[in-house]
């Protein structure tokens, strides 16, 4: 018996004809440009097929859920069902808390917590206004992520920039983003701005366009 060893002796790199990643991207773009209509038609067809299959499965699930046998099983196994749902919720609650804890350690999660803390404080003091995390991030970006009092970048600070109310809440200021300016912890503390009404935004034109 004669065995052809040609396939076994073939170099492995020939299985990947485009070792150059940029070349492969270029060829992919060219193929897509030449076959745009065909690819678009296939994608539309796939979406329609997937949608019809999903709709059928959903209808089947609704029929099963509303069937008499399903209601009969629930009525006979109320305690079993209740214990299962309690165990399921407890497990999901632990997973959710762990996910929230890990998210809170990320830069975006820390910003979300700071904004939520300021919103809670303003709501407790019955102050008008609120702002989102995205608005706070955009405000910091507008001023190049710098403290508007000392001009230091956030990367140079030990703690992140803080949301300072230009007109303090204790003096009738609102919690809208238009009354917020980014300051470092030192400049925002009692040894710095404190509860004084100081608008640094008009003075820091070097770092942004107020």
Kindly report the CATH number assigned to the domain that includes residue 173.
3.30.40
Co-location of 46 and 121 in the same domain = no
**What is the rounded distance in angstroms from the CA atom of residue 142 to the CA atom of residue 210?**
8
**What is the rounded distance in angstroms from the CA atom of residue 136 to the CA atom of residue 112?**
9
pTM: 0.49
Q: What pLDDT was estimated at residue 1?
A: 46
Q: Residues 62-92, buried b or exposed e (16+ Cβ, 10 A)?
A: eeeeeeeeeeeeeeeeeeeeeeeeeeeeeee
Co-location of 96 and 180 in the same domain = yes
> Helices in the chain by DSSP H: which ranges?
6-9, 21-34, 36-65, 68-76, 78-104, 107-124, 133-142, 185-188
Co-location of 51 and 104 in the same domain = no
Co-location of 125 and 92 in the same domain = yes
Q: How many domains does the chain have?
A: 2
Q: What pLDDT was estimated at residue 14?
A: 47
Co-location of 107 and 188 in the same domain = yes
Can you give the residue range of the structural domain that contains 197? 77-210
pLDDT tens digit sequence for 3-60: 454 544 555 444 455 567 778 888 888 888 888 888 888 887 777 777 777 777 777 7
Provide φ and ψ at 153, rounded to 5°: -75, 155
Q: Per-residue pLDDT averaged across 148-177, rounded?
A: 87
């Amino acid at each position: 018996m004669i065995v052809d060893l040609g396939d076994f002796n073939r170099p492995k790199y020939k299985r990947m004809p485009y070792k150059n990643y940029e070349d492969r991207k270029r060829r992919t773009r060219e193929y897509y440009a030449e076959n745009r209509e065909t690819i678009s038609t296939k994608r539309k067809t796939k979406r329609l097929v997937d949608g019809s299959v999903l709709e059928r499965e959903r209808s089947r699930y609704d029929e099963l859920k509303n069937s008499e046998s399903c209601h009969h099983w629930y009525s006979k196994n109320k305690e079993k069902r209740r214990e299962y749902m309690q165990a399921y919720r407890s497990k999901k609650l632990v997973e959710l808390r762990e996910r929230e804890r890990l998210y809170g350690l990320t830069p975006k999660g820390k910003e979300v917590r700071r904004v939520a803390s300021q919103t809670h404080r303003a709501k407790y003091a019955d102050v008008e206004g609120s702002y989102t995390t995205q608005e706070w991030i955009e405000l910091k970006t507008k001023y190049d992520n710098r403290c508007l009092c000392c001009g230091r970048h956030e990367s140079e600070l030990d703690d992140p920039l803080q949301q300072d109310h230009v007109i303090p809440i204790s003096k009738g200021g609102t919690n809208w983003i238009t009354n917020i300016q980014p300051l470092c912890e030192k400049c925002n503390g009692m040894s710095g701005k404190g509860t004084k009404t100081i608008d640094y935004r008009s003075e820091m034109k070097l770092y942004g366009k107020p």
